[in-house]
Amino acid sequence: MVSMWTSSNVRIGAHPLVSAYIDAIEKEDYLALDRRVYRYDDTWDPELVFAYISAHPLTAPLATSKPAVFIAYISSLRDFCIALGRLLLACRSSDLACISREDCVRFERGDDGVTTGVSIRFYRPKERNSMPTNSRGYTRWVTIPAISDKSVCFCTLLREYVTYTGLLPRDGDALFVTERADKKHNGRVWALSSERLAKRMRSVMSLAGVPEDFMSHSGRHAGIALRKAGADTLISRGYQTAPWCDEQVMNLARMSARTYVTHYLRSIRAAELDEGVPPVAGS
């Protein structure tokens, strides 16, 4: 067997079977020594982001405003929608890249024609290989209700964003796009990649005062905690009436009980909100 590896120019220590075995031993040692094998023991308080967005309501620019004003408005509107979407949908940045305007966004209206919420679904997300065949790559719809506080109403902000960016020449049908066009994309705005979506999430987290040790992927942990331990944030704003049970949270986040308990069932780190909300960068 050793001769087979050396003849194929594969060092014994670098062979996939050997490296996988070593990794397994290292992880077992972590468990035996009671050392953590993940980045966080807890998650951050989602109220930080809600408080920041609420303290910085956006005002639509006038028709006579300069292009730079429109660009700044669309950019801020997009970033707020990304942050609220990550939390309320308990999703990944890569999930947001799986939303098309035509097939994955649906604004709900009551009998009186008033918008009551927005329904979102994802097309071919990360767990697509485990999805049933009859789903045709789409997750089930999740509806986020409209609330009275328009400054943090995901439905209101997203409808505004879709309306404004719908006037721009777009390369594709992605929901979240760049704020500027370029020659490479034939003078059109284009879809944000999951990496750029993660950067926009991290930017809002930083402005909101989320501890620096939390990276953008922790937004899903915070979104899950928001439905249970942090439910007061949603209840006070009218998003839900009571903390959710574990089954509801797992259905929202599309994850198994084992994944939920092992990686996502975490407490919220105590946050200091009394000192005021951090100002907008540059102000």
Give tens-digit pLDDT for 202-222.
999 999 999 999 999 999 999
pLDDT of residue 236 exceeding 70, the answer is yes
Q: How confident is the model at residue 245 (pLDDT cuts 50, 70, 90)?
A: very high
Q: Which residues contact 27 (CB under 8 A, 6 or more apart)?
A: 37
d(CA 29, CA 136): 42
Residues forming a β-bridge with 145: 117
pLDDT of residue 227: 95
Token pair in block for residue 68: 């730079």
DSSP string for 154-166: HHHHHHHHHHHHT
pTM: 0.81
Give 68-124 pLDDT, tens digit per residue. Answer: 999 999 999 999 999 999 999 999 999 999 999 999 999 999 999 999 999 999 999
Instruction: Look at 137 and 282; give whichever has higher pLDDT.
Output: 137
Residue with tokens 């939920």: 260
pLDDT of residue 275: 47
**Residue 264 near residue 251, CB atoms below 8 Å:** no
Q: Whole-number mean pLDDT of the chain?
A: 86
pLDDT of residue 28 exceeding 70, the answer is no
DSSP string for the chain: -HHHHHHTT--GGGSHHHHHHHHHHHHHHHHHTT---SS-SSB--THHHHHHHHHS---PPPTTS-HHHHHHHHHHHHHHHHHHHHHHTT--HHHHTT-BHHHHEEEEE-TTS-EEEEEE--BS-TTGGGS-GGGTTBPPPEEEE--S-GGG-HHHHHHHHHHHHTTS-EES-BSSB-SS-BGGGTTBEEBPPHHHHHHHHHHHHHHHT--TT--GGGHHHHHHHHTTTTHHHHHHHTS-SSPPPHHHHHHHHT--HHHIIIII--PBPP---TT-PPPPTT-
Average of pLDDT values for 26-32? 49
d(CA 51, CA 232): 13
**Which amino acid type is present at position 232?**
D
Helices (H), 209-265: 219-226, 231-237, 246-253, 257-259
Token pair in block for residue 111: 């009998």
Q: How confident is the model at residue 31 (pLDDT cuts 50, 70, 90)?
A: very low
Token pair in block for residue 204: 């809002």
Give 163-213 pLDDT, tens digit per residue. Answer: 999 999 999 999 999 999 989 999 999 999 999 999 999 999 999 999 999
Instruction: Look at 277 and 260; give whichever has higher pLDDT.
Output: 260
Q: How confident is the model at residue 37 (pLDDT cuts 50, 70, 90)?
A: very low
Average of pLDDT values for 154-165? 97
Residues forming a β-bridge with 100: 174
Q: How confident is the model at residue 11 (pLDDT cuts 50, 70, 90)?
A: low
**Residue 160 near residue 60, CB atoms below 8 Å:** yes
d(CA 227, CA 246): 9
The CA-CA-CA angle for residues 133, 135, 138, to 5°, reads: 130
Nearest to 269 by CA among 42, 52, 49: 42
